[in-house]
Structure 1
Amino acid sequence: MKARHSLQRTLSLGLTVGVTLLWLMGVTASAMVAQHEMNEVFDSALQETAQRILPLAVTDILSREAGTGQKRAPAMGDHEEYLTYLVRDASGKILLQSHDTDISVFDARPRQGFFDTDTHRIYGESAVSDTLFIEVAEPLAHRREAAFEAGLALLLPLLVLIPVSLIGVWWAVRCSLRRVVVFRETLESRGSADLSPIAVERLPAEFEPIAASINRLLERLRRALEAERSFTANSAHELRTPLATALAKVQRLKTELSEKTSLQKASEIEESLHNLARLSQKLLELAKAEGGGVLSEEEHDLVPILETIIGDYERLNPGRIDAQLPNTEVTSLLNPDAFAILIRNLIENALKHGGKGGAVEIRLSADGTVSVKNHGDIVAPSDMALLRNRFVRAETNALGSGLGLAIAEAIVSGAGIRLGLHSPARGWQDGFEAELNVVIKR
């Protein structure tokens, strides 16, 4: 089974990830621009430092030739020196250096302009007709540290902006899809028998054609089902009166006939009319079962209804009914008429197809589980799969129309419950069992 994908979650995560990536790209571009600008500032500082110190260094060196001055510039206090300088002559002899200068950073001979070593950025400048040279060095690590701190300053706000963005995007998407969620919940909560139009108020424009198409489909389906049910119900209803009239005339004719052959034929006609009357009754029940309305607005106690139905069949079939009912109420939203039709068909099916004279076991538990069992031949698995269909019967000599289980299946499907069929019956070596739970709550 494939996992369900939420449009709301997909849009929220997708938009948040997209915005985050755009921010990261923006931060990266900003960091690169900032680093470039900082390098220009640092280079300008190197150049400015060299040009400021060189005249002072020349003065100091010339003074030293007169017997004053020092080769190493004195430190004004302990501090970390980012810029160090070295003043040399053309041969590379050191004439003056800052107090924290690392000589190994510089080449053997002085150079002019900007150049890089493995660890430092250096700028060289000359004076006194290229006889004195100054080189100012700055550690590259210092520049990298400054670039890292600038990038970090740009990146840290994202730690707050990303969750805030996720919440904001989720809220915006949720508000935008609120009507779509209501539309989905409306579809999910509808029963299989509910073919009324779906409300499409204020749906996003992208979903309105879907809702309109569903409503057109539901309308066509409703018309088709109503036409089918109407035809079945009308046919069954309209047949009852002429069948009853014909049956009464045949029965009256039997009283007037004395010839054995004629009586036999009249009895056969009477039996055919009885079968046709039973079939019309089953068709009428099937139309009611498929017509919706199998659920009530209020809960009803089903125990008295089942007691009444069992009492009717006990009078018609003395000794064949073995019933066991709970002493407590069993309430359900199942319509009492639909429940009565359902139970009658299950009991009739058990009486017709059970062993000759065999008892039919009827059980209703306090949790609403109904079981109807009868002894008899085991139904083949291939036949079991088809018994819920209309006019389908297992191999049997019993009279019937093949609609009993189809009516029961129509009712349980409309109520959203499941009808279980077992052969052999559970706990028995033979027979047939129909089992379902009739408790339906809000």
Structure 2
Amino acid sequence: MKSDRSLQKRLGISLTVGATLLWLLGVTASGLVAQHEMDEVFDSALEETAQRILPLAVTDILNRETDTGSQTAPALKEHDEYLTYVVRDRQGQLLLQSHDADLSVFQGPPREGFHTTGSHRIYGASAISDTLFIEIAEPLAHRREAAMEAGVALLVPLLFLVPVSLLGIWWIVRLSLRPVARFQHSIEARGVSDLSPVDTDGLPTEFQPTAIAVNRLLKRLNRALDAERSFTANSAHELRTPLATALAKVQRLKKQLEGHHLFEDTVQIENALRGLSTLSEKLLELAKAEGGAALSEHPQDLVPILAMVARDFEFRAPGRLRLSLPGLPVTSLLDPDAFAILVRNLIENALKYGATHHPIEVTLNDDGRLRVCNAGEVVPPERLARLRNRFTRYHTRPSGSGLGLAIAEAIASGSGMPLAIRSPATGQADGFEVEVNIAHAGRNSEPCT
């Protein structure tokens, strides 16, 4: 499963991004509401301050003994003054101001109620039949600073909530998809010959139809393969006895017809029967290779098996085989009978299709790598890949069924071993080489090329 297509990754990222966006929208909405409420509080404070200061200012102005013009209210001590005010008459003449008031803020004739300039929020109130006016100003920067601090206070928790939510969402998604991951691993981990039903316990409802469909497909495929193997094995087995009987009778007839004009016909019939007998044996080997019995329960040393098979071929083709065995045992879970079938088919192919005057090299290394190499012309890559198929041969001149490499491929696939076919052979300009690592038997490996 590619990481960029991982359902767990998609859900984790999508849910985290979605939750973060929702939180940001929530914080934005909360900030706007908070700013509106703060504006109402600040406006109320302006109005309340004006209502408190105006009677005192009126009393002070009326109690003056002489008209001394504008006066500044003294400050008890130095402080930052967010609210400044001025008291003016109807004509706009300044009568009283706070100690830090900026007169440029209070432009135009005095008026009642709220109004906003480019830099301040101002509230005005009147007294004594609208003859005296007080105006209180608050800097808008003060309100923006308060709104900014409130927004930051709402955003700071997100710096901790986003990573925590990411971990939490990732953990919840991972926990929820654990049955799906088990379902995936149960399919990935099984070998190519394992067609048993997949465990569907605990799968989410959305994946149940997929699991059921996979099990139905495996069941149908298993039945089809069983029917094919049964037909192949039964056909080859049932042909063995009649073919042996017919071959014996033809051989007896051939002796009786020596010197007769029908002798050559008898020889052709004998060769055809031998070919059918060999084909039936190959079909039996193929049925066994595809029957899933390529592995044994315990590791076994396969070096003696290779030596025994090589001795059999030494009698059939003296001097053609060059065998190289390791000094230590090479153990493998590969079944000894399956290993013997594998080696026999690889050597037969090399003897049949390799150059006649060059030896066949059979090498087994300490690490379990078995190599069967023969000289001969190079097989083109497009033909090389098809040699694993049944009844496929590169040359039709030598007699053969085209099943040797198919049987080797079936045994290698059924036991989880990598099987490599190369032409030219390694370190040569020509030839053909098959390599299989018997130490990998029982592992889940795909055949390599």
Tell me the TM-score normalised to structure 1 length.
Answer: 0.94
In 2, the alpha carbon distance for the partners of 1:246 and 1:60 equals 141
In 2, the alpha carbon distance for the partners of 1:333 and 1:6 equals 35
SS in 2 for 1:103: coil
Q: Does residue 233 of structure 1 match 2:233?
A: yes
- 1:187 matched to which residue of 2? 187
- 1:395 matched to which residue of 2? 395
- 1:102 matched to which residue of 2? 102
Q: How far off is 1:75 after superposition?
A: 0.7
Q: Deviations over 1:58-98 (max 9, x none)?
A: 11011123589981111111211111110112222221111
Q: Does residue 280 of structure 1 match 2:280?
A: yes
- 1:352 matched to which residue of 2? 352
In 2, the alpha carbon distance for the partners of 1:232 and 1:294 equals 17
- 2:317 matched to which residue of 1? 317
Is the CA contact 1:424–1:433 (under 8 Å) kept in the aligned structure 2? Answer: yes
Q: How does 1:207-356 map to 2 (within 5 A)?
A: 207-356=207-356
May I ask how many residue pairs the two structures share in their alignment?
442
Which amino acid in the other structure matches residue 149 of structure 1?
A: E
In structure 2, the CA distance between the partners of 1:144 and 1:378, relative to structure 1 (3 Å rule), is closer
The more displaced of 10-19 and 212-221 is: 10-19
- 2:447 matched to which residue of 1? none
Is the CA contact 1:353–1:396 (under 8 Å) kept in the aligned structure 2? Answer: no
- 1:118 matched to which residue of 2? 118
Is the CA contact 1:358–1:374 (under 8 Å) kept in the aligned structure 2? Answer: yes
Q: Does residue 78 of structure 1 match 2:84?
A: no
Q: Deviations over 1:147-187 (max 9, x none)?
A: 11112222222222222222222222222211111111101
Q: Does residue 170 of structure 1 match 2:166?
A: no
In 2, the alpha carbon distance for the partners of 1:86 and 1:438 equals 100
Q: How does 1:34-183 map to 2 (within 5 A)?
A: 34-66=34-66, 71-183=71-183
Task: Name the % identity.
Answer: 63
SS in 2 for 1:203: coil
The more displaced of 385-394 and 199-208 is: 385-394
In structure 2, the CA distance between the partners of 1:141 and 1:435, relative to structure 1 (3 Å rule), is same
In structure 2, the CA distance between the partners of 1:2 and 1:205, relative to structure 1 (3 Å rule), is closer
SS in 1 for 2:64: helix
Q: Does residue 22 of structure 1 match 2:22?
A: yes
Q: How far off is 1:2 after superposition?
A: 7.2
Q: How far off is 1:265 after superposition?
A: 2.9
In 1, the alpha carbon distance for the partners of 2:90 and 2:367 equals 107
The more displaced of 152-161 and 254-263 is: 254-263
The answer for unaligned runs of 5 or more in structure 2 is 444-449
Q: Deviations over 1:207-248 (max 9, x none)?
A: 111000000000010011110111001111111111112222
In structure 2, the CA distance between the partners of 1:311 and 1:169, relative to structure 1 (3 Å rule), is same
The more displaced of 296-305 and 118-127 is: 296-305
- 2:376 matched to which residue of 1? 376
In 2, the alpha carbon distance for the partners of 1:91 and 1:16 equals 63
Q: Does residue 435 of structure 1 match 2:403?
A: no
The more displaced of 34-43 and 145-154 is: 145-154
In 1, the alpha carbon distance for the partners of 2:387 and 2:171 equals 52
Q: How far off is 1:108 after superposition?
A: 4.0
Q: Deviations over 1:304-349 (max 9, x none)?
A: 2211111211122211111111112222232222222111111000
Is the CA contact 2:86–2:136 (under 8 Å) kept in the aligned structure 1? Answer: yes
Is the CA contact 1:61–1:69 (under 8 Å) kept in the aligned structure 2? Answer: no
Is the CA contact 2:86–2:96 (under 8 Å) kept in the aligned structure 1? Answer: yes
SS in 1 for 2:203: coil
Q: Deviations over 1:362-397 (max 9, x none)?
A: 112222222211223333444323222211212242
- 1:13 matched to which residue of 2? 13
Which amino acid in the other structure matches residue 353 of structure 2?
A: H
| C-alpha RMSD of the superposition | 2.1
Q: How far off is 1:37 after superposition?
A: 1.0
SS in 1 for 2:48: helix
Is the CA contact 1:334–1:438 (under 8 Å) kept in the aligned structure 2? Answer: yes
In structure 2, the CA distance between the partners of 1:159 and 1:181, relative to structure 1 (3 Å rule), is same
Is the CA contact 2:368–2:438 (under 8 Å) kept in the aligned structure 1? Answer: yes
In 2, the alpha carbon distance for the partners of 1:84 and 1:417 equals 90
In structure 2, the CA distance between the partners of 1:5 and 1:424, relative to structure 1 (3 Å rule), is closer
In structure 2, the CA distance between the partners of 1:424 and 1:155, relative to structure 1 (3 Å rule), is closer
The more displaced of 16-25 and 252-261 is: 252-261
In structure 2, the CA distance between the partners of 1:206 and 1:2, relative to structure 1 (3 Å rule), is closer
The more displaced of 225-234 and 246-255 is: 246-255
Is the CA contact 1:60–1:69 (under 8 Å) kept in the aligned structure 2? Answer: no
In 2, the alpha carbon distance for the partners of 1:379 and 1:136 equals 100
In 1, the alpha carbon distance for the partners of 2:111 and 2:60 equals 21
In 1, the alpha carbon distance for the partners of 2:395 and 2:50 equals 112
Is the CA contact 1:63–1:69 (under 8 Å) kept in the aligned structure 2? Answer: no
In structure 2, the CA distance between the partners of 1:3 and 1:155, relative to structure 1 (3 Å rule), is closer
SS in 2 for 1:77: coil
In 2, the alpha carbon distance for the partners of 1:380 and 1:168 equals 56
Q: How far off is 1:435 after superposition?
A: 2.1
In structure 2, the CA distance between the partners of 1:120 and 1:274, relative to structure 1 (3 Å rule), is same
